[in-house]
Amino acid sequence: MIYDHCRLLREAGYEAWPVHLGHFDVDWFDHGIDPLTDAEALAIMTPDDVLVVPERIPGAADRFPGRNRVVFAQNQGLVPAAIAGGRYEDRGFTDVLCCSAYVCEAIADLTTLPRHTVTNGIDTTRFRPDPSARQDGAVLYLKRKSTWRLGAAALDRLPGDVAAAIKPVGLPHSCSQAEMIGFYQRADIFMPLGFPEGFALPPLEAMACGAVVVGFAGGGGLTHMVDGVSALVVPDGDADALVEALTRIVRDPALKERLRAGGAEMAARFGESRMREELLSFARLMQAR
């Protein structure tokens, strides 16, 4: 999402750079942006620039100038350990930028700083359905957090008729964006298993690609996972409830198709245009200081 923010800011005429603290590549999606090393950033940054730092590494800000120092909060679950009993304002931060209204509210008691929201969005010209590719009964899930094992356990406990009707597909967290779009488009059902989540992009991406979403929302996923409307939502970590929800969706094709349509409608509300508008509003606020 940091790369998406930089791209949108550049398209609007701002100078924006991701900075890598170490040697690694962000190569799982096409972004067209060359990052700066920390040394390169230090060489060009001035106190008038805005510094944005992920919520989990507030100490990374210590070496950089910038009067406006912003925490980018993408997961409320990472904040307590990051501040270790203190507050971001104790480290000189001036603002918190949140990826969802859920995160903004969830961390309200952990900071007195102004909290701003730029809601995550997706490129719906890329994340789109391909009904000809969809495989009936294919249940896709990602092994991106250790909680994926709860989904595997639920799949092992499905009633016989339900187990016979599905084809589980478990993916490691190493696919490119283009590969993921293909998997989403082939999926009949997507099972989100991560928690906590600040926004939960994968289920939204799956909805946009035509998959029916059944699983954990992780908190932030409730932004777009509305139970019975755009998804079947079960309590985080409740494998028994997941068994029941999967059974229900497999045995009720009409419900499945209603949720598929509801998910597509929901995903359309979270395109890049909304994210761009909110991001540029935040950028103008920073620029005016």
Domain harbouring 221, CATH code: 3.40.50.2000
The pLDDT score that the predictor gives to residue 122 is 97
Tell me the helix, strand and coil percentages in the chain, rounded to 5. 45, 15, 40
The pLDDT score that the predictor gives to residue 180 is 96
> Is residue 195 domain-shared with residue 111, that is, in the same domain?
no
Range of the domain at 74: 2-121+271-287
Beta strands in 80-128 (DSSP E): 95-98, 115-117
> Within a domain: residue 203?
yes
The pLDDT score that the predictor gives to residue 27 is 62
> Is residue 262 domain-shared with residue 277, that is, in the same domain?
no
- Supply 168's token pair: 């589980």
3 state SS of 67: coil
> Is residue 250 domain-shared with residue 207, that is, in the same domain?
yes
Distance between CA atoms of residues 278 and 289, nearest Å: 18
> Is residue 280 domain-shared with residue 252, that is, in the same domain?
no
The pLDDT score that the predictor gives to residue 172 is 87
> Within a domain: residue 126?
no
pTM over 0.75: yes
> Within a domain: residue 127?
no
Query: Which regions in the chain score pLDDT beneath 70?
Result: 27-29
The pLDDT score that the predictor gives to residue 41 is 96
Q: Quote the number of domains for the chain.
A: 2
The pLDDT score that the predictor gives to residue 213 is 99
> Is residue 19 domain-shared with residue 53, that is, in the same domain?
yes
Residue with tokens 């799982």: 28
> Is residue 109 domain-shared with residue 17, that is, in the same domain?
yes
DSSP secondary-structure letter at 155? H
> Is residue 150 domain-shared with residue 165, that is, in the same domain?
yes
The pLDDT score that the predictor gives to residue 32 is 81
3 state SS of 220: helix
The pLDDT score that the predictor gives to residue 209 is 99
The pLDDT score that the predictor gives to residue 96 is 99
